Amino acid sequence: MRIGIIGGGQLGLMMAEAAKKYNHIIVGLDPNECCPLSHVADEMIVGQYNNKELFKEFEEKCDVITYEFENVDMDLVSQYEDKIPQKRAALFYSRNRLTEKAFARDLNIPTAKFLKYDKQLLFYPSIIKTTTGGYDGKGQWKISKKEDVDQMLFDSNIEYIIEELVEFDYEISVVASRDSFGNVSFIPIPVNKHRNGILFTSTVFDDIDSLIVSKAKEYTTRIIEDLDYVGTLAVEYFVKGNQVIFNEFAPRPHNSGHYSIEGCSVSQFENHILAITNQKVMKSHLINPTIMINVLGQDNGFIEDISDSSVHYHDYNKTERKNDRKMGHITIVSSTISEAQSIKNNVIKE
Ligand code: AMP
């Protein structure tokens, strides 16, 4: 099939790499002709995502279209929804933190207490976030007292949300893929650690309590089915005691699922491609304990030794190195988690 990918970043690149295994043809749409996807796409349409003529030219070249990020033009997605298995609803809810959390709450999935930000209705400790446009910890501020809010500079054109600051034990994400026949497949659940709001590591081995695993999968199934979503989707949760608390979801493959390329029998990208091309998703299991580490722009000289055969380095081939920009990732797959951890300590400096 001819698969169109909106967005040429690392997710688009890894989707295309998975699609090539099935001999699909890839047409990319991105403003940057040297984007990561351009290295594997058969054809790139270079221009802005919301350019209607360009989008039509792109759409006519494709049998099916997928997107790798949330800020896709909603009007264009609505117009061409028949060709976009991820569909409009998932984008609609996930691009605004208020609608996203209300959506989870309406499905009876626990969330942290949240309100539309109003300076008369403060509570502490809390976290104030922009409702749209924020990612990787950008546009969010932790608040412990009234004076913290007094010092903040709010933009009157921007809407904010205030959320209870959850004292979680750990963070997880559930990466699920659903096909057009209604089957749902999960990759094993990673435990995620963040540095300055940006994912740092995802660690996967059989250590999460089975009650937590079943609750998290059940909530995620409710979400993916309610959205009638086809493709791979990720939901992030906080775990506190026996509680699994929804934080947010992303209607696309997710950074915390990158480990599955080498760590699992079937990766999140392969199941995404199977689902959107009208094939059945496959069951995926962990091959061995796995750790994924993100490499950011400032991590120059961060990698000490990647000559070990358990270490897989993915370079996204980005032309410009910037602080906090994801430049690549490292996956370590080893027979025991302690061995993977000791390899990680040799590979990187924390
Ligand atoms: P987000 O952009 O919502 O994924 O937030 C990035 C990271 O900030 C999360 O992965 C958490 O580590 C932290 N965080 C966000 N919201 C909360 C919250 N309500 N309580 C505690 N930590 C949070």
Alpha carbon distance 211, 213 (integer Å): 5
Percent of the chain whose pLDDT exceeds 90: 87
Does residue 261 lie in a domain region?
A: yes
Q: Check if the beta carbon of residue 285 is closer than 8 Å to that of residue 293.
A: no
Report pTM.
Answer: 0.97
pLDDT band at residue 121 using 50, 70 and 90 as cut-offs = very high
208 and 263, same domain (yes or no): yes
- Centre of ligand 1 from the C-alpha of residue 138, in Å: 11
Claim to verify: residue 34 and residue 152 sit in the same structural domain:
no
Is 156 found in the same domain as 226? no
102 located within any domain: no
Whether 200 and 276 map to the same domain: the answer is: yes
Per residue in 244-286, pLDDT tens? 999 999 999 999 999 999 999 999 999 999 999 999 999 999 9
Q: What is the pLDDT of residue 47?
A: 97
* CB of 173 shorter than 6 A to ligand 1: no
Percent of the chain with pLDDT over 70: 97
166 C-beta closer than 6 A to ligand 1? yes
201 is a domain residue: yes
Counted residue by residue, the chain has a size of 350
CATH of residue 262: 3.30.470.20
Please indicate whether residue 46, judged by its CB atom, sits closer than 6 Å to ligand 1: no
Query: Hey, whose CA ends up nearest to atom 1 of ligand 1?
Result: 137
Q: If you measure from the C-alpha of residue 238 to the centroid of ligand 1, how many angstroms do you get, rounded to a whole number? A: 9
248 CB within 6 A, ligand 1: yes
Question: Do the beta carbons of residue 349 and residue 304 sit within 8 Å?
Answer: yes
From 100, 131, 164, give the residue that closes a domain: 164
If asked whether residues 150 and 249 sit together in one domain, one would say no
Tell me if 171 CB under 6 Å of ligand 1. Answer: yes
Residues 199/329, Cβ–Cβ less than 8 Å: no
pLDDT greater than 60 at residue 155: yes
Number of domains composing the chain: 3
* Centre of ligand 1 from the C-alpha of residue 20, in Å: 35
Same structural domain, 204 and 321: yes
CA of 197 to the centre of ligand 1 (A): 7
Among 68, 84, 100, the domain boundary falls at 84
Query: Roughly how many angstroms between the first and final C-alpha of the chain, as a whole number?
Result: 43
The percent of the chain in helix, strand and coil, each rounded to the nearest 5, is: 30, 30, 40
Assigned token pair, 197: 């709001």
Residue 100 counted as domain residue: no
Rounded Cα distance, 175 and 260, in Å: 10
Q: What is the CATH number for 156? A: 3.30.1490.20
What are the tens digits of pLDDT across the range 78-96? 999 999 999 999 999 999 9
| Rounded Cα gap, residues 32 and 245, in angstroms | 37
| 52 and 136 part of one domain | no
* Domain closes at, from 103, 129, 164: 164
Q: Are 163 and 113 in contact (CB under 8 A)?
A: yes
Instruction: Look up the domain containing 130 and give its range.
Output: 113-164
Please work out whether the CB of residue 286 comes within 6 Å of at least one atom of ligand 1.
Answer: no
Residue 190 and residue 203: Cα distance in Å, rounded?
Answer: 5
Which ligand 1 atom minimizes the distance to the CA of 112? Answer: 19
Burial 208-238 (b: 16+ CB within 10 A, else e): beeebbebbbebbeebbeebebbbbbbbbbb
Same-domain pairing of 193 and 321 = yes
Domain harbouring 79, CATH code? 3.40.50.20
Question: Distance from the CA of 186 to the center of ligand 1, in angstroms?
Answer: 23
Residue 105 lies in a domain: no
**Looking at the structure, do residues 214 and 148 belong to the same domain, yes or no?**
no
Give a yes or no: residue 104 inside a domain. no
Whether residue 152 sits in one domain with residue 190: no
Ligand 1 in reach of 197 Cβ (< 6 A): yes
Please give the Cα distance from 236 to 254 (Å, whole number): 10
| Residue 112 pLDDT class (50, 70, 90 cuts) | very high
Beta carbons of 234 and 199 less than 8 angstroms apart: no
* CB neighbour class for 85 (10 Å; exposed up to 12, middle 13-18, buried from 19): buried
Q: How far is residue 74's CA from residue 281's CA, in Å, rounded to a whole number?
A: 27
Average pLDDT taken over every residue of the chain: 95
* Centroid of ligand 1 to alpha carbon of 62 (angstroms): 37
Residues 67 and 129 in one domain: no
Secondary structure class of 256 (helix, strand, coil)? helix
pLDDT tens string 222-239: 999 999 999 999 999 999
Query: Rounded CA gap, 188 and 263, in Å?
Result: 10
Query: What is the DSSP secondary-structure string of 90-129?
Result: HHHHHTSHHHHHHHHHHTT--B--EEE--TTS--SSEEEE
Give domain status of residue 51, yes or no: yes
Ligand 1 centre to CA of 172 (Å) is 12
| Ligand 1 neighbourhood includes 137 CB (under 6 angstroms) | yes
* Predicted pLDDT at 135: 74
Among 183-197, 276-290, 295-309, the range scoring the smallest mean pLDDT is 295-309
In a shared domain, residues 246 and 123 = no
Say yes or no to pLDDT of 296 above 60: yes
The alpha carbon of residue 146 and the mean position of all alpha carbons in its chain are separated, in whole angstroms, by 33
Q: Is 108 part of a structural domain of the chain?
A: no
Q: Which range has the top average pLDDT, 5-9, 143-147, 294-298?
A: 5-9
- What distance in angstroms lies between residue 41's CA and the mean position of ligand 1's atoms? 34
Question: Residue 167's pLDDT band (boundaries 50, 70, 90)?
Answer: very high
Best residue among 247, 255, 324 to mutate for probing ligand 1's pocket (most ligand atoms within 8 Å of CB) is: 247
Query: Which residue is closest in CA terms to ligand 1's atom 8?
Result: 197
163 Cβ below 6 A of ligand 1: yes
